[in-house]
Structure 1
Amino acid sequence: METVKTLSLKLLNLGISNDMPYLLKKRIQFTNGICTFLCLFMVFLFAVGYIITGSWPLAFTFLAYWVIPITMFILNSYGKHAYSRWLFIPATFLYFTISSSVTLITFFKSGIEPGILNIYLFRHYSTPALLGLFISINRKEEPKAFTSALLISLFFIATYFIALNSLGISLEDFTKVGIGIPLNEFFLWTSFMISVSEILFLMSINSKFERTFLSQNAELASQKEEISTINEQLKGQKEEITMQRDVLERVHSNLMASINYAQRIQDALLPTRELLKEWLPPHFILFKPRDVVSGDFYWAASRDSKIFWICGDCTGHGVPGAFMTVVGMNLLHQIIMEEAENDPSTILLRLNRRLEQSLRHEESTGKKVADGMDLALVVIDTHTRTFQFAGAKRPLYFFPKGGELEKVKGSKFAIGGGLAQGKIFDTHTFTFASGDRIFLFSDGYPDQYGGADNRKFMLKKFRELICDIQAHPIEEQSTILEEKLEAWRGKTRQTDDILVMGMEF
């Protein structure tokens, strides 16, 4: 029993795939069901027809009908569903035309009067065939297929009656009684049973699909309601996100306005290019902030016969570093210009002490700011043609004209950083001649990532680069350094603020 059920389901779903539309699945299953039913029913008619007539040719006309459903099964299995449904109608009419002709020939050869059977035989079987026509083919969606199937079917009907006339058989001749009448009753009842069975089968299939359809509709309605709820939630979230975005845009706009204003303040504190040209010998300054404002700064001043030239690198970058540069430049102005201090090491010591005092909140808040700066300071005496250098964790590169690079290390101590006592800054004194060059720089250039392996440029490579460009005028070296930097960096984001300063005596 289980095997029969499995086989029935396989035949019913032959040629159906999950991605098909619902209505197409319904039509294919109905077509497969009709074919299965007709195959079984024709076996029944084969047996009954032989028992009543005793004629094997007449009985086999029923089994010959199997050609039609088997062909439809094959077409469905290959995905030719429309051809399968279309073929069912004209093929059925053709079959009944042939079977009626076989019946006539059988009765004529046997000497049995066909009686009224032969005029109504085709009409009996045309009823279920026409029923199949209206069920299988949708005249609204498939008008051409419906019309062609109907016309071909009518052609077969006409052919049958024309064949009768060509045989000299008049319709009036079929009023005789005999075996034709009981056979006619048999075929009339079989025709009726086929029609009723098709209708019942259709109702069964339709009921099944209706239940499935209603179940799917209920599920879809539930999903629709769930989606509607989700949409409402998403709408609320979208409105909230839009509000948050607007707030963030306002905050960002205000923040950028503040940062841009801070940039103007920082630019105002930096010495102008005109003043630098007035105070300093030939020089260059390569200054590339990572963000809008910078934690690196350069500072210069001229007092009496002395020129003060400073390269500073404050803790951090961006806004925090920029605030530190403002504090540093303000303190340097106090120490150098107002207090007239000339010794580089003393300037660094005072700067360290003042910065610690400015950033100390331990007494009021219990916290201590450990930020500070690295700094290189050069004091040039134009009368004695000497310069002095002191560094807080920053070196100086000195190139005597025609000589080799001489690296002068700074102190291991930074300015600030939470330690006010015990720091030592040494002053280094040099005599310079025309053509000698000095270089100050922050750690931004050597620390820049790039190259094929995305590694740091490194201090060694930077020192070699400084040596390589000494054949060029001092004013051109900034451009060369920037080009080398961009080639190294590529698409990598700038790592830190960059400051490189060079001067030729």
Structure 2
Amino acid sequence: MKIQKLLFIYLMLIVSFGLYANDTSVDLKFLQDKPIYLAKYMSVFEDPTQKLEFQDIKSNESNLPFLQIPKTKEAFNFSYSNSNFWLKTKIFNPLDREIQTSLVVAYPRIKTLDLYLESKDGVKIIQSGYLVPSVNRPYQSRFFVFPIEFSKNSEVTIYFKVNSPNAINLPIQIWNQKSYDRHEIDDHVLQAIYFGITLAMIVFNLFVYLIHKDISYLLYVLVVLSSAIAIATHNGIASEYLWDNSPWLDQYSVNIIISIVLIIFLIFMRTLLQTKKVLPQLDVWNWGFILVQCLLPIFYILSFETFIKWLVLSHTITSLWILVIGILCSMKRQRIAYFFLLAFAFLFLALIISTLRALGIIPTNVFTIEGPQYGSAAEMMLLAFALADRYNFIIQEKEAAENLVKLNLEKSNLELEEKVKERTFKLNQTLTVMRRDLFVAKKIQENSISVDPKLEEALHFVYKYLPVSEVGGDFFDIIQLKDFNYRIFIADATGHGVHAAMITMAIKGIYDPIKEFDLPPNKIMEIFNEEFMDNFVSLNSLLTAMIIDIHFDTKMIQFASAGHPSAVLLQNHTLQLLSKTGRMIGLKKQTHYEKVEISFQSGDRLFVFTDGVYEAFNQKDEEFGEDKLYQLFIDTIHLSLSEVEEDLLKALQKFQNGQDRQDDLTILGFDLK
């Protein structure tokens, strides 16, 4: 049952990816001076329970949905997740000689990174990740490196078990050992150049501060120093040289240090650009952002999972604010602001790239991982030019005083622009609230029509629910009455969108208290109609509905239909329609509904749907129609229910030929096995 539950959890993931894992091997004869990126060869299995170990994976591997992610090229990016991720691939050495390789995961903030090597000699386990002290790792490096020797004419299956509270990015490479040694030397040279320039900038500007006593130079030194520490933490240099074994620092340090960098940068910006004088109305916001960057790291330490995304998002917003201030100061013709804006633009771009990568919005590759370091180097050099130009800026500021009238006019224009921006901001806020409300409504509606997985297994049941907008007017419910008897309810409110969605909530509120009554479907329908008329007749809304009771003990179906589209019963390749037995809900009180009984034997198939399934129109305004739908059900009788639904959606898409759907679509399929 444990495996069956896991299979169900990943059913939607399998449909979304549309691709099962392939047994694609990595051929080491193609391994030259450049690495082979393994992500495109690897298949992935997500274990949200975190309970499966390697023995469980091996014993049930054929039943687990290992998937390949088609768009992955250089790296996997799973963003923030509490799941364990299992990755696997096969590596083949077809040569008549041994090959020395290095398996490299070029990202330092992975907590658990266990490697399992399965060959004809058995299984070898190598534990790594920042939870393992560097002295206990197979290879001491700023990244996670696994030296592996492949014997001649051998095949090895590798498995990775990955878990981390940080953003999970996995740029996995396999290198020829000698090539990687050369690459690592080159990498250390580049790191030495970067930190050497940083040290030179710190020492030089510290001496300038001691000579001129200008606080801007001291703040610049602090900005450069904190940025260098943040870069060292981000790229693993700090873990390799500053702290050898501190999982806490590996987990928390980079985001805390980024907050420190932003705090110092905000203070540096206020001093350098004189925002208290130049932008007095906005200067108070600088202190607000400083306060946020002081408080959020504290909450982040107290509750990592709750505040990690908020802290990362605050870094981006604060950086955007600094960029906006730089733009506004540049608009005020501050010479030094040009240098500041250009310098911070590089760092802002790098931070945006890093944030989007951490949140899983953009792919992980060498550029998105190393981007912050390149941006920091450019920002450091350009800020140095900004400080060198500081005195020229002061001269220009004095000259600008002679053009006071012109500046006052520009100030008036700027204030007008600010008012427009403020009103635009308020409008955007309102739009954001509306979008958030729609999102919440969508989640509420999705939860209201969720189906117990046990019922899907017991009924051999699949369904598809596709509202035409964020929310829709279709609703269905499936329950087990007693023993092996089940009740199916489906309804379709007129129209779609928010109005129809509200009607579905009314439907659910009326139907839930009566759905378990030990009454035939027609009596339930009559009670439902009376309750709807008593409570919601003022809404002037109508709906169709159908109730079907499946009795497995007697192999019979009982149903009642309130003007709902005919359900389709397939028996011995013959199609039978379950037509309406009464008028629509909401037309008249004391409406009588007939009850119809039909046999439901082994091998029979039942489809229940709303009119959005066949009321699809193409560009010529032609309707897909019920006849095409019925013929499709007959032609696909040999397929599984999932395959029938897939064929139906493809047929509708082909028929519409780019035309948007005009109504909500819901279809339920049942097989009696």
TM-score by length of 2: 0.37
Larger Rg: 1
More helix by proportion, 1 or 2? Answer: 1
TM-score by length of 1: 0.48
Q: Which has the higher contact order (CA 8 A, sep 6+)?
A: 1
More strand by proportion, 1 or 2? Answer: 2
